[in-house]
């Protein structure tokens, strides 16, 4: 019987903590942002013998909304390249800050991706989204 009372007392003591955690989780969710439509499209030619300019890698314009549905501003783009798909070798950041990107002459197999970041200044929250990489192959 003593263990029963001890367990119930512990449960009663933990209830306010559970309510606090639920409240904090809801507050974080209210301030969350969703970045949608962050996609990039490969140029027409992605495999070539020798160095070449593959042309523009097109990116979609993104939409950023807070969980409550309010549009946010402050969207920035960052293009990156690397010589491996995991972006751990020869990573180059800040290639461009525009929606679309022209990599210029590519002389070795290279991967490209775009990171979109957004901020809602009124809520002081931010979000980011990274596209899957596209590969330009040099044979």
For residues 26 and 32, give the distance between their C-alpha atoms in angstroms, rounded to a whole number: 10
Task: Say if pTM beats, i.e. exceeds, 0.85.
Answer: no
Token duo for residue 58: 């097109």
Q: How far is Cα 77 from Cα 91, in angstroms, rounded to an integer?
A: 16
37 plus 26 within the same structural domain = no
CATH number at residue 47: 2.60.40
Q: Dihedral of the CA atoms 53, 90, 92, 84 (nearest 10)?
A: 70
User: pLDDT of the chain along its 139 residues, tens only?
Assistant: 555 555 566 667 656 655 544 444 433 344 455 777 889 999 988 999 999 999 999 999 887 776 665 666 678 899 999 999 899 888 898 889 999 999 999 999 999 999 998 876 555 667 788 999 999 999 9
Whether 25 and 73 map to the same domain: the answer is no
The domain tally of the chain equals 2
**Taking a C-beta distance cutoff of 8 angstroms, is the pair 131, 38 a contact?**
yes
**125 Cβ neighbours under 8 A, 6+ residues apart:** 31, 32, 33, 66, 119
| pLDDT number for residue 37 | 83
| Domain match, 7 and 40 both | no
Give me the pLDDT at residue 127, please: 79
User: What pLDDT, on the 0 to 100 scale, is given for residue 27?
Assistant: 38
Domain that holds residue 121: 33-138
Asked if residue 103 and residue 61 are part of one domain, the reply reads: yes
Alpha-carbon span 138 to 40, nearest angstrom? 20
């Amino acid at each position: 019987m003593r263990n029963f009372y001890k367990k119930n007392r512990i449960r009663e003591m933990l209830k306010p903590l559970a309510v606090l955690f639920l409240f904090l989780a809801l507050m974080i969710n209210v301030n969350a942002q969703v970045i949608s439509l962050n996609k990039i499209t490969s140029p027409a030619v992605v495999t070539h013998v020798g160095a070449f300019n593959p042309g523009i890698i097109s990116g979609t314009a993104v939409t950023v909304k807070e969980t409550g549905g309010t549009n946010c501003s402050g969207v920035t783009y960052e293009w990156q390249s690397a010589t491996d798909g995991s972006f751990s070798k020869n990573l180059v950041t800040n290639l461009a800050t525009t929606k679309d990107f022209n990599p210029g002459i590519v002389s070795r197999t290279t991967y490209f991706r775009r990171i979109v970041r957004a901020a809602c200044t009124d809520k002081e929250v931010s979000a980011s989204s990274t596209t899957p990489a596209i590969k330009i192959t040099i044979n």
